[in-house]
Structure 1
Amino acid sequence: MSRKLTSLVRRLVPSGGTGQRAAKSAVWLFGQNMVDRLLPLVLLVILARLVGPLELGLVGIALVSMSALRSLTEVGLNEALIQRIEDNVDRYLNTVLAMEIARGVLIFGVLFLAAPFIGRLFDAPAAVPLIQVLAVSAVLRGLKNPAVVYFQKNLEYHKMFVYTTGGTLAFFVTGLALALWDPSAWAWVGAFLASDLVRLVASYLIHDYRPGIGFDRQAAGELIQFGKWITGTSILYFLYNEGDDVFVGWLLSPVALAYYQYAYRMSNAPATELSQVIAGVMFPAFSKFQTDVERLRESYFATVRLASFVAVPMGIGFAVVTPAFVAAAFGTDWLPMVAAMQLLALYGVYRAIGKTMGALWKAVGRPDYVTKLSLLKVALLAVLIYPVTVRWGITGTAALIVAVNLVVMAPLDLYITAKILETTSTRILSEVTYPLLASAVMAGATWYVGQALVLPAWIELCVMVVTGGVVYAAAVLALDLGTNWGMRANLRQLVSNVVS
């Protein structure tokens, strides 16, 4: 048994051509993201039952404060190293370490000193010590071995799997132990610090590169020249992805913030995992043939086809089962977030597919597209978020996120992507049509079963999920046999790339 397992792991180590390496890397990255998201979500459900929305709202304030400063100081060093055409980027690593340490110390200092002001802003003085202790995380992250960038650059995701999941396991074990000992917001903060500490140690154990202390101004300038657009994108990403969190927490309450944050996190989890895999693997893969438009185009079509095949049913299916899921996992105290969670699940579908576009734009050296479109998105949200949130609460905020992305941003994203690939928006959209049809059939069947059943929430949820999976598989098979979709052939090719 152990010999077979060892053989399987060896076959999954990324090797071969770009396609094979990308496919095998996707397996590792998907497994990594499953662990990296599933265990924290399980811990979140446990804490939600033990401490309730108010304590988790305080955690949300601390996390959004940390995220704001990380976004403001992000200079895109890893992206710049991955995008460079040369394989060996050792000459940049000492400079990267120096810059990351400086960034970590800066974030720690600002958060520690600003914590009382943040507590007053949200009318949540209990969040102040949480923010100050969580700030240590920034220093731990800044000290990690910069050579871990090679795991992504060279598609060595089996090493990234070990590095990331080690921290995730530490997060879960520490958080669970603290939650059982003293159920409070401190369990979540302690889990974060344990995770970052384990990853810091692992970064030096897994990669043999040992950085020195040094700073090369020319090397820093080269990286920042590419990364300046990443900086702008990071700030704007925070504003449109978490700015609504800040607004909800400030305008409404920490409890409303907890509802909104965890509605977003849970509803986007399935599609987000897929998008992280796609963006993580396809950015370096696209970069390797950024000058060959034909190969880039065909690779992108295949990527969108697979992303849609998985993300569309995940998002639509989650929206259908949300009431049963919240009742089963969180309890009745959390039912006010159901409508927002359903809307945000639909946004998760667009987000997963949109991530493929961002990876493509960065791979061809145009990260400015991401920044410029993000600026437009932030402007639209800034104008509209106050009236809809005052009128409809977190449900209105969620509806605004969906409307801005689907009505305004999606057509622009399609236009730019089609221009880069020298194709049409219609051609790109055609890759989403069949999954939408199959998912519509699945949604109807799942909803009907949910309405017909009168069972305990957990049993009802399980029956609905199984029904959805079976109906979607049957619909996909019928469409593939009756049209030229070719999904079965794509899946066979993917499996071949993974196991060969």
Structure 2
Amino acid sequence: MSLRQKTVTGLVWSSVESIAAQTIQFLFGIILARLLSPKEFGLIGMVAVFIAISEAFIYSGFSSALIRKKDCTQEDYSTVFIFNFAVGILFFGLLFISAPAIGRFFDEVQLRSIVRVLAIVLIIDSLSIIQHTILTKRIDFKLQTKISVIASGTAGTVAIILAFKGFGVWCLVVQTLLRQGIRSFLLWIWNRWRPAMIFSKKSFIELFSFGSKLLLSTLINTIYNNIYQLVIGKFFSARDLGFYTRAWQFQSLPSTTITNVVTRVAYPVLSHIQEDKEKLKEIYKRMIKSTMLVTFVIMLGLAAIAEPMIISLIGEKWRTSVVYLQMLCFCGMFFPLSFINLNMLDVHGRSDLTLKLEIIKKLLSIPTIVIGVLFGIKIMIAGMMLNSVIAYFLNSYFSGRFVNYSVKEQLKDIAPAFIIACIMAMSVFFIGYFLTTSYIFKLIVQVTAGAFIFLIICELTKMSDYIYLKQIVSEKILKK
């Protein structure tokens, strides 16, 4: 199979896997949001901060280091597996011990037991990191798709049953544990690799020299992405955090899915051709242009339909989330682009530069947090919007230097997609503004009109990135 075929196949199956898993979780999330209160989602949001930070330590950048290394041995995989498992046990213990302190910090007694139970997920995840890494290194996302769908579907079904039976916040805890447990179990069943009781100091040092810098940048990024939840939970309330996390989850469905799809395929593919500068730039540009066409349209479209979508899907009690969602969509617009640019630095082995950039960008967020605490959540999100733009310019400037792809050239390449998305989003917003029907009917009309307007503009202008994506989809359909 050629590199292009591997890339296209990887993109398609990575897309299916991410979209399927995220969509299933999203649909179950809608049902659970109707059954549970904003406060219950807020409680999980408080715990999620500590889980995410712990998982950053467990991964420690080793997964990326293994993907980047061309000839990985059993010794390499086994060394990382043992390290991951040991760190998983360590952080489970730390969270178990610190659970009472976390409860006191947020002034929520219930968090003590929630933290201790949910921390089990750290051990579960540590057992399947290598299995997942091997599949990603092979650009095999078909099996991962199957596993994600089964795990998300089963866990979501159980969570809804528990919600109907009145388990409250615990149905969200069970959903997380069951989803990750099934995922880990199936990865072991369907992936033939098994660890050996080998821990090589040489292998560890080699991989950690690259992974350690990624660990620090990932840790900084994780703290940054979750610090707002921490601040809202501490200085506002669990209910306010529930509104924010629900808006974030609506926004992250498309932005995170697109980011995961592209970066999971981009890193192994770009690493494979890192010596061929011309080909590297060509594929890099194509990824950015086609990715941003999809991203701009979805994120701006989502902002335009925020009100009817939230009210019709999860109810009037979540109305406060509408404005948060509209503002967060602007932030999410830049996530995929920033991650693609960071991938280019990692491909060239410059994880040290990635770390420096993360430190600079996150220091800029400190004023945003302080102002948010003083003036409210909306002002905080406005600061996040500004930070996302600054982050994009920093990432694109430094990554572009490695392939002679300037910020100006990159902006010129993505400008047509942004203009088309703006025309579509404004049209959709005004259609909804003048419609005086029910929210669900308004939502259907807006989504249909948005898709129609986007396709018509792309067909009339013969947009190259649209034609490229259309060709990929057509090839896959014809093969079947």
Q: Secondary structure at the match of 2:365?
A: helix
The aligned counterpart of 1:59 is 44
Spell out, residue by residue over 1:282-335, the C-alpha distance to the aligned partner (whole angstroms, 9 max, x if none). Answer: 100000011111111000111011101100010101111111111112212211
> Are residues 314 and 389 of structure 1, via their aligned partners in 2, closer, same or farther at CA, if it must alter by over 3 Å?
farther
Check if 1:395 corresponds to 2:378: yes
Matching of residues 32-431 of structure 1 within 5 Å:
32-86=17-71, 88-144=72-128, 146-391=130-375, 393-406=376-389, 408-431=390-413
Q: Which runs of 5+ in 1 are unaligned?
A: 1-15
Given the alignment, which residue of 452, 456, 460 partners 1:474?
456
Structure 2 CA distance for aligned equivalents of residues 289 and 487 of structure 1: 22
Q: Is the 8 A contact 2:39 2:238 kept in 1?
A: yes
1:449-464 matches, cutoff 5 A? 449-464=431-446
The share of aligned pairs that are identical, in percent, is: 22
**What letter matches 1:206 in structure 2?**
W
Mean Cα deviation higher: 257-266 or 291-300 = 257-266
The 8 Å contact of residues 293 and 466 in structure 2, kept in 1 or not, is answered as no
1:22 maps onto 2:10 in alignment = no
Deviation larger for 359-368 or 463-472: 359-368
The alignment of Structure 1 onto Structure 2 pairs a total of residues equal to 478
CA RMSD of aligned residues (A): 1.7
The structural deviation recorded for 1:170 is 2.6
Greater shift in the superposed pair: 350-359 or 144-153: 144-153
Distance 2:288 2:393 in 1: 16
Displacement of 1:85 after TM fit?
2.0
Going from structure 1 to structure 2, the CA distance change for 1:145 and 1:237 (only over 3 Å counts) comes to: closer
Asked whether the equivalents of residues 19 and 497 of structure 1 are also in contact (C-alpha less than 8 Å), the reply is no
Indicate conservation of the 8 Å contact 1:81/1:89, yes or no: no
How far did residue 490 of structure 1 move?
1.7
Tell me how far 1:94 sits from its aligned partner.
1.4
**Alpha-carbon contact 1:263-1:341 (below 8 Å) kept:** yes
Counterpart residue type for residue 411 of structure 2: L
1:344 is paired with a residue whose SS is helix
**1:7 match:** none
- How far the C-alpha of 1:163 sits from its partner, in A, is 2.9
Please, what TM-score do these two structures have when normalized by structure 2? Answer: 0.96
Q: Which runs of 5+ in 2 are unaligned?
A: none
Relative to structure 1, the CA distance from residue 115 to residue 84 in structure 2 (aligned partners, 3 Å threshold; closer, same or farther) is same
- 2-structure distance, mates of 1:107, 1:441: 48
Amino acid at match of 2:400: A
Aligned partners of 1:267 and 1:348 also within 8 Å: yes
Q: Which amino acid aligns with 1:196?
A: Q
Look up the equivalent residue of 1:177 and give its one-letter code.
I
Partner Cα distance (1:259, 1:377) in 2: 26
Q: Does 1:494 align with 2:476?
A: no
**In structure 2, what is the Cα distance between the partners aligned to 1:384 and 1:436?**
26
Q: What is the CA-CA distance between 1:377 and the residue it aligns to?
A: 1.8
- Greater shift in the superposed pair: 362-371 or 108-117: 362-371
CA 1:196–1:411 in structure 2 vs 1: closer, same or farther (change >3 Å)? closer
Distance between the aligned counterparts of 2:305 and 2:373, measured in 1? Answer: 25
Q: Which moved more, 1:117-126 or 1:360-369?
A: 360-369
Q: Distance in 1 between matches of 2:131 and 2:430?
A: 52
For the residues of structure 1 that align with 2:197 and 2:459, how far apart are their CA atoms? 57
Separation in 2, partners of 1:295, 1:23? 16
- Cα drift, residue 73 of structure 1: 4.4
Structure 1 residues 458 and 489: CA distance shift in structure 2, 3 A: closer
Runs of 4+ in structure 1 over 6 Å off? none
Q: CA deviation at 1:258?
A: 1.2
1:224 deviation in Å? 0.6
Q: Name 1:3's counterpart in structure 2.
A: none
Secondary structure at the counterpart of residue 242 of structure 1: helix
**Distance in 2 separating the partners of 1:330 and 1:194:** 24
> Whole-Å Cα distance in 2 between the matches of residues 68 and 108 of structure 1?
12
How far 1:112 moved relative to its partner? 0.8
Distance in 1, Cα, partners of 2:27 & 2:373: 29
Q: 1:73 to 1:101 in 2, by over 3 A?
A: closer
Instruction: Give distance in 1, aligned partners of 2:470 and 2:309.
Output: 33
Q: How far apart are residue 465 of structure 1 and its match?
A: 0.8
Q: Flag the 1:456–1:159 CA change in 2: closer, same or farther, 3 A.
A: same
**C-alpha deviation, 1:409, in angstroms:** 2.1
CA deviation after TM superposition for structure 1 residue 497, in Å: 6.0
Q: Deviations over 1:108-156 (max 9, x none)?
A: 1011111110011011111111111011111112223724322111111
| Aligned-partner Cα distance in 2 for 1:126–1:492 | 50
CA–CA separation in structure 2 for the residues paired with 1:257 and 1:115: 19
Three-state SS of the structure 2 residue aligned to 1:390 is: helix
Task: Give the AA of the match of 1:455.
Answer: T
- After superposition, the Cα gap between the structure-2 partners of 1:295 and 1:145, relative to the gap in structure 1 and judged at 3 Å, is closer
